[in-house]
Amino acid sequence: MKNLAGKNFAGTILSGALLLASPAMAGAMTTPPSSLPPSSPALPAPLDFHLFEADLARTGQVESGAAQVREAIPAGTDARVAVAMLRAAGASCQSPDRHPEAVGCYYRETIGAEQYLRTYATWDMTLSIADGKVRSVAMARSTEQRS
């Protein structure tokens, strides 16, 4: 009985190997790149405040993260889209429906902890809005220690 089960298993493996080696499958595996659909244009990298903190620790430049936010959310961006982007990056934001002229957002991360003391970094952002579109983005980063 064991030999019969072993033969069925071996037959299944062999038929799978033959399927992979078939000419139709071989053609699909060697499709020339010129026949593939063109790739979409390069999109800006998604925002990630945690990476901003890592870059800041490496380079010491706060403006790098702020510049990335301003590049991703230029003037004229729909306010709801801008808030969605910041929320996807980890920020907490007010609703643009409730605050039609300015939306506040923040991101807070623990950047250090020693026995009874924690250090937090906070990125505060204010989106100035007119007619549902972002006019400007103001950013500031601060740190605080709590026990």
**Confidence at residue 44, expressed as pLDDT on a 0 to 100 scale:** 54
Distance CA 49, CA 107 (A): 7
**Confidence at residue 89, expressed as pLDDT on a 0 to 100 scale:** 94
Which tokens hold the place of 93? 């934001």
89 CB-contact burial (10 Å; exposed 0-12 / middle 13-18 / buried 19+):
buried
**Cβ neighbours of residue 75 closer than 8 Å, sequence gap 6 or more:** 133, 134, 135, 136
The pLDDT tens digits along the chain (147 residues) read 455 444 444 444 444 443 344 444 344 434 444 444 444 444 456 899 888 888 888 888 878 888 899 999 999 999 999 999 999 999 999 999 999 999 999 999 998 888 889 999 999 999 999 999 999 999 999 999 998
CB 123 within 8 A of CB 65: yes
Q: pTM for this one?
A: 0.66
